[in-house]
Amino acid sequence: MSDAVKLAPSILSADLSRLGEQVREVEMAGAAAIHIDVMDGRFVPVISMGTPIVEAARRVTSLTLDIHLMVVEPERHVGVFMDAGGDIINVHVEATVHPGRIAQEVRSRGKRVGICLNPGTPVSALEEILPEVDQVMVMSVNPGWSDQRFIEGALGKVESLRRLIDEGGLRVEIEVDGGVTPEIAPRCALAGANVVVAASAVFNDRASVGENLTELREALARVERV
Ligand code: DX5
Ligand code: ZN
């Protein structure tokens, strides 16, 4: 494996009363992106955060802001999340009938577009539009909450996607989101993922953000050397 797998901490588990500090901590600890989970209370049962949080994060970091839209009809919202400072706009294939149109709109503004797959959605749901996107996000939990158990079936989907991307000579990143720990992250990397998201494994009471990110990076480095 050549390129290092990137870490994208999700601020869903961060202490939002100290958002700036927490973002700077993950930046100092070598994170590649900040993952922001947007939930609308319809696509998933809960409501989480919206554009004000993206704007606040944008003010304190130049890291990539990876926006995960868990909302119905995301085509109604992609514009404001780009305006707020999002760099990668990820929409669920289950939430829209026109993922291709969203991909065009996002790319026309010079931003990157990702398509997310729920655990129950097969890779075939996005095969046709794979050449038009920059990233595929494989959900390894049912979206809605952090700190859930990793769903093993996600690894087979990552492997299938890796094959499709390599065979097609495409430049599409594979991101795994949900239940990632220092034990799970290397298995995602071996299956072919480029980016792993982690919320509760980064922001918790067990250790500092820096220590947690170092543990994840060291676990990944062990497989990258193989
Ligand atoms: C789940 C979110 C995830 C979540 C991950 O709906 O999309 O990004 O924050 O949390 P952990 O890493 O704790 O499973
Ligand atoms: Zn997410």
Q: What is the pLDDT of residue 25?
A: 97
* Entry pTM: 0.97
Residue type for 226, please?
Answer: V
In the chain, which residues have pLDDT < 70?
1-2, 225-226
Among the listed residues 212, 197, 202, the one whose alpha carbon sits nearest the alpha carbon of residue 67: 197
Q: Which atom of ligand 1 is nearest to the CA of 10?
A: 9
Q: How many angstroms separate the alpha carbon of residue 75 from the centre of ligand 1? A: 22
Tokens of 68: 């995960």
- Ligand 1 close to Cβ of residue 85 (< 6 A): no
Return the percentage of the chain with pLDDT > 90, whole number. Answer: 97
Q: What is the pLDDT of residue 226?
A: 65
How many helices (H) and strands (E) are present in the chain, helices listed first?
Answer: 7, 8
Active-site residue list: 37, 177
- Ligand 1 close to Cβ of residue 204 (< 6 A): no
Q: Which atom of ligand 1 is nearest to the CA of 199?
A: 12
**Whole-number Å distance between alpha carbons of 180 and 126:** 23
- Ligand 1 close to Cβ of residue 141 (< 6 A): yes
pLDDT digits (tens, 9 = 90+) for 182-198: 999 999 999 999 999 99
